[in-house]
Amino acid sequence: MLSAARSPLLRRTFTTNHVDGFTGAVGNTPLIYLKGLSEKTGAHIYGKAEFQNPGGSVKDRAALGVILDAEKRGLLKPGGTVVEGTAGNTGIGLAHVCRARGYRCVIFMPNTQSQEKIDLLRMLGADVYPVPAVAYENPANYNHQARDFAKDIPNAIWTDQFDNTANANAHYESTGPEIWEQTKGQVDGFICATGTGGTLAGVGKFLHEKSQAKTQIWLADPPGSVLTSYVASGGKLVERSGSSITEGIGQGRITNNLGTFINQLSGAFTIDDTKSIEMVYHLLDTEGLYLGASSALNVVAAAELAVKLGKGSRVVTILCDGAYRYQSRLFSKQWLKAKRLEDAIPPHLKKYAVL
Ligand code: PMP
């Protein structure tokens, strides 16, 4: 029999024997070496396993960050209410943190979102208001409704994930340092997609500072987002058009969380949905990783960046969440057909589309 200390199942080292509740379990995620893609590109590609956060996504860090910041600044007091406009993961993260810290949670979301997400938020104790899905410019947009709702009730805050920089700061203070430590400072490139921009700017800023800007920071964009063209044109913002199957990413404006950090980027890629969906299936088949489409897009982009940076380069990206929240879409033959993505799945991977 193997002794426990030598068991391959006992690999991680812990500084303490326990963490303090839900909030203590946020962060400290493993960095996964993606062997197949690393071999294929001759580089070293790593994915930060953010799907292992206790609420299931990278947004647990932002949710905790904005609430701790509001508490510290005296804006949120015991028994208070947290209000947010969100299509998914931020709301789920906030609902968990609110339960764990005794706050009421109110979520405004576009009524185009899946019933699973609404059900989950309600199971987590949140009050959910699905509202018509209208553009940001329209005062009835879910974000503006959340802001206005919070104004009208005492001891309530609107966490404002897009423009509240406590979001990016959570990544500057946790995700960035973890990646630096896990790679022992050997990181040539970091790339990920953005929704609020919190992950990209927070991690990017930290890695830039630590490496004296030797680590290149790149943006990965889904179709329908304006950020790639903004970076490529040196700052021209075009009108948003088009769409993507990826959820939670893509942006039509420069949020406060992205801020001026967008000017520090080395470049940006747009990744087609055909490549992202193929990667969802490929990661499952070759690495046993069951991930959502934004994670898959990030991995496609990381492989492209690794090729750009050359053999032996070390590239890190974010594995944002698991496929569980999207499985009725991503693994449904009917949905793939409706999205004209059937042909994006190679024949040997089609067996995974079981719904
Ligand atoms: N992937 C998923 C699945 C998300 O929900 C989000 C956040 N909306 C992101 C990526 C992007 O993270 P950020 O808001 O930090 O840019």
Q: Can you give the CATH number for the domain in which 228 is found?
A: 3.40.50.1100
Question: Looking at the domain assignment, is residue 164 inside a domain?
Answer: no
ipTM of the complex as predicted: 0.99
Residue ranges making up the domain that contains 240: 17-52+172-352
Share of the chain above pLDDT 90, in %: 88
> Are 243 and 98 members of one domain?
no
> Are 200 and 102 members of one domain?
no
Structure-token pair, residue 87: 């299509």
Place of tokens 């075009």: 238
Annotation marks residue 59 as catalytic: yes
Question: Looking at the domain assignment, is residue 10 inside a domain?
Answer: no
The pLDDT tens digits of the residues spanning 157-198 come to 999 999 999 999 999 999 999 999 999 999 999 999 999 999
Question: Looking at the domain assignment, is residue 35 inside a domain?
Answer: yes
**Domain edge (last residue) among 102, 127, 154:** 154
Q: Whose CA is nearest to atom 4 of ligand 1?
A: 248
Q: From the CB of 321, is ligand 1 less than 6 Å away? A: yes
Distance of CA 259 from the midpoint of ligand 1 (Å): 16
pLDDT at 4: 56
Query: Average pLDDT over the chain, rounded to whole?
Result: 95
Question: Of the residues 51, 199, 256, which should be mutated to test ligand 1's pocket, given the most ligand atoms within 8 Å of the CB?
Answer: 199
343-349, long-range: CB < 8 A, 24+ apart: 343/274, 344/273, 344/274, 344/275, 344/277, 344/278, 345/277, 345/278, 345/281, 346/278, 346/281, 348/285, 349/278, 349/281, 349/282, 349/285
> Are 300 and 346 members of one domain?
yes
Least confident of 35-39, 109-113, 149-153, 323-327: 109-113
> Are 116 and 177 members of one domain?
no
**Domain edge (last residue) among 106, 128, 154:** 154
Q: What is the mean pLDDT of residues 328-353?
A: 97
> Are 106 and 192 members of one domain?
no
**Domain edge (last residue) among 154, 186, 220:** 154
pTM, two decimals, is 0.96
> Are 229 and 313 members of one domain?
yes
Question: Looking at the domain assignment, is residue 5 inside a domain?
Answer: no
Strand partners, 32: 47
Question: Looking at the domain assignment, is residue 305 inside a domain?
Answer: yes
> Are 109 and 255 members of one domain?
no
> Are 40 and 97 members of one domain?
no
pLDDT bin (cut points 50, 70, 90) of residue 2 is low
Q: How many domains does the chain have?
A: 2
> Are 123 and 182 members of one domain?
no
Q: Are 193 and 297 in contact (CB under 8 A)?
A: yes
Question: Looking at the domain assignment, is residue 63 inside a domain?
Answer: no
pLDDT at 16: 72
Distance of CA 317 from the midpoint of ligand 1 (Å): 13
Question: Looking at the domain assignment, is residue 280 inside a domain?
Answer: yes
Question: Looking at the domain assignment, is residue 12 inside a domain?
Answer: no
Q: From the CB of 249, is ligand 1 less than 6 Å away? A: yes
* Active-site hit among 35, 40, 48, 59: 59
